[in-house]
Structure 1
Amino acid sequence: MTTQQAEFDVDTTVTPAGEGRYAAQLAPGWKVGGGLNGGYQLAVVGTAISTHLADKPDPVAISAYYLSAAEAGPATVDVEVKRAGGRMSTVAAELKQGEATRLTVLATYSDLDRFEGDVRTTATEPDLPPREECVGRADVPSYVLEMAPLMSRFDMRFPRDQAGWTTGQPSGRGRFQAWFRLEGEREPDPLSLLLVLDALPPVTFDLGVMGWAPTLELSAHVRAKPAPGWLKVQHRTRNLAGGMFEEDCEVWDSTGRLVAQSRQLALAPRPA
């Protein structure tokens, strides 16, 4: 990686602007559908919280509610400490643009170095083919790239047997698995995982339901600091009902360790 600051870090930069308030400039390159990507917004808020809690820089658990579509331009993040503990602190935060609240968050932060040690899980790491055998951004239909410019901000590669949505032949299983890395080979860390949890196309694409799927609520758990290198990301859904679907995500690092999980409830894409 070069010494030039990574695009993700530039676009999630916050500046102190008073007691518990931070100024941000939301970047247009993270747009998807009718607004900015929810994971990107969460990473901006997460950066403000991390800055506010200097001794507890890492997200552990976050519950986020998306109230309105964010757009490129100035924004503020207000952070209020609800409990400052010795090992963990809990805060409330809001992302605003003008008078409109885009995102409201309740989060617990700590120093994940304190949690290093034994890791036990019954989850199964995705078994992905080599990256050079996978389908990448160049294979994605142009209309999807037009709807989701954020896809140029990272490299993701799908196994060919899970990439039928790119040719109009989705599997119908409601599952995505992919290799993932930010542009510029920016190495993953706990804050970038907040983006990764919401970066892949909506898993409804694998059900043949295409289009923007706005997130209503997202709960994220960051379990450990990821090792350098490519990540493996897995999305699944089991229910699409009432115009909404859930999406479960797991993120595995280059050592085969489960480092982040999430569940979100989103609006199903509207038929074309």
Structure 2
Amino acid sequence: MAPDVTSEWDTHTAISPAGDGVFDAVLDPGWVVGGGVNGGYVLGVVGRAIAASVPAKPHPLSVSAYYLSASRPGPAQVSTRVLREGGTVATVAAELGQEGTTRISVLATYGDLRAMPSDVATTAVEPALPPLEECVPGSLAPEETRRIAPVMDRFDLRFDPACIGWATGRPSGNGHIQAWLRMVDGHPLDAVGLLMVCDALPPVTFDLGRPGWAPTLELTVHVRAVPAPGWLRVSHRTRNLAGGLFEEDCEVWDTAGRLVAQSRQLAMQPRP
């Protein structure tokens, strides 16, 4: 399916140039989760502004974001600064602010993934997910959960039954959650959209019996390819909780069997 400029994702990440590398945006309330707006969505808005600042290099390759304060629905402004632009890649610094407060600070390398070599050599193993019809739809979440986290209505999620015990009070303790994912309107995501996908599933600490909002401190995403249309397979894991923090490692695979994005984030353990 060809991208639709009226799709929800495009609408919610829309930006307007305001001059001198500055872009106006509006953070949509449909992306709220817990105590703020979903960090992956906010990073997607910033990623859209960075792409507009270096139009010959529209795709994120490596993006590191530091979350300084919780974003709120409403007007926001993204300021970008091109630090270096060479023949293949550009390095751009960006910040998103609201009401005079910086919400997120980003350093990113962008390029054109379609112009780069397409050869792949990897030892990564595709996540083994059951067929869609055997997975658990996110739409079955209780109404109270959906009210607190309207971000769940942005996706069509189908969870691996082996990773959904936390929803019935029986978490596996393995620190692993994986699911099929697509946007609720069926719109195929571009490379910038992968920045959001890496933060789309519930915090992996749910599978450790620690539910709740887990504020992100830092998120680094590596984008490897423009995803093919269709369902994405998203896998989150954690191996260590210490000092009130945990890491969350994510892999995103497309319908062509390619590892199109990887990320690691450092987040605070959910509050009781």
TM-score class, shorter-chain normalisation, is over 0.9
Find out whether 1:200 has 2:186 as its counterpart. no
In the TM superposition, residue 98 of structure 1 has moved relative to its aligned partner by 1.6
Residue in structure 2 matched with residue 117 of structure 1 by the alignment: 118
Matched to 2:228, the amino acid is A
- CA distance in structure 2 between the partners assigned to 1:88 and 1:112 by the alignment: 10
Please say if residues 78 and 93 of structure 1, whose CA atoms lie closer than 8 Å, have aligned partners that are also in contact: yes
Q: CA deviation at 1:270?
A: 1.0
Aligned length: 271
Please tell me whether the aligned partners of residues 32 and 149 of structure 1 are also in contact (alpha carbons under 8 angstroms): yes
For 1:1-272, what aligned pairs fall within 5 Å after superposition?
A: 5-271=6-272
Q: Distance in 2 between matches of 1:198 and 1:115?
A: 26
CA–CA distance in 1 between the matches of 2:169 and 2:5? 39
CA distance in 2 between counterparts of 1:193 and 1:214 reads 19
* Residues 141 and 166 in structure 1, CA contact (< 8 A), matched pair in contact too: no
Q: Within 1, Cα distance between the matches of 2:138 and 2:229?
A: 22
Separation (CA, whole Å) in 2 of partners of 1:109 and 1:3: 23
The question of whether the paired residues in 2 share the 8 Å contact of 1:115 and 1:224 is answered with no
How far does residue 147 in structure 1 lie from its aligned partner after superposition? 2.5
Distance of 1:145 and 1:213 partners within structure 2? 17
Kept after mapping to 2: 8 A contact 1:116/1:224: no
> Secondary structure of 1:185's partner?
coil
Distance 1:174 1:143 in 2: 24
- Taking a change above 3 Å as real, the CA distance of residues 132 and 270 of structure 1, as seen in their structure-2 partners, is same
Identity in percent: 60
Which runs of structure 1 show a deviation greater than 4 angstroms over 4 or more consecutive aligned residues?
1-4
Q: Which moved more, 1:173-182 or 1:142-151?
A: 142-151
The 2-side partners of 1:212 and 1:82 are apart by 34
The one-letter code matched in structure 2 to 1:187 is P
1:121 maps to amino acid? T
Structure 1 residues 19 and 3, CA, compared in 2 at 3 Å: closer, same or farther? closer
> 1:91 is paired with a residue of what secondary structure?
strand
Q: CA deviation at 1:148?
A: 1.4
Q: Distance in 2 between matches of 1:163 and 1:98?
A: 39
CA contact (8 A) 1:227 1:255 kept: yes
State the shift of 1:33 in Å: 0.4
* The 10-residue stretch of structure 1 (1-10 or 86-95) with the greater mean CA deviation from structure 2: 1-10
Residue aligned with 1:221, SS: strand
Change (3 A) 1:24 1:4: closer
C-alpha distance in 2 between matches for 1:220 and 1:168: 31
Once residues 97 and 121 of structure 2 are traced to their aligned partners in structure 1, the CA distance between those partners, rounded to angstroms, is 39
Please identify, of 3-12 and 31-40, the stretch whose mean Cα deviation from structure 2 is larger: 3-12
The RMSD of aligned alpha carbons is 1.2
TM-score normalised by L of structure 2: 0.97
Question: How far apart, in 1, do the equivalents of 2:51 and 2:220 lie?
Answer: 18
Are the equivalent residues in 1 in contact too, given 2:138–2:159 (CA < 8 A)? no
* TM-score normalised per structure 1: 0.97
Q: Distance in 2 between matches of 1:116 and 1:253?
A: 18
Cα distance, 1:80 vs structure 2: 0.2
Structure 1: where are the runs of 5+ without partners?
Answer: none
Amino acid at match of 1:270: R
The alpha-carbon deviation at position 188 of structure 1 amounts to: 2.0
Task: Say if 1:139 and 1:166, in contact at 8 Å, map to a contact too.
Answer: no
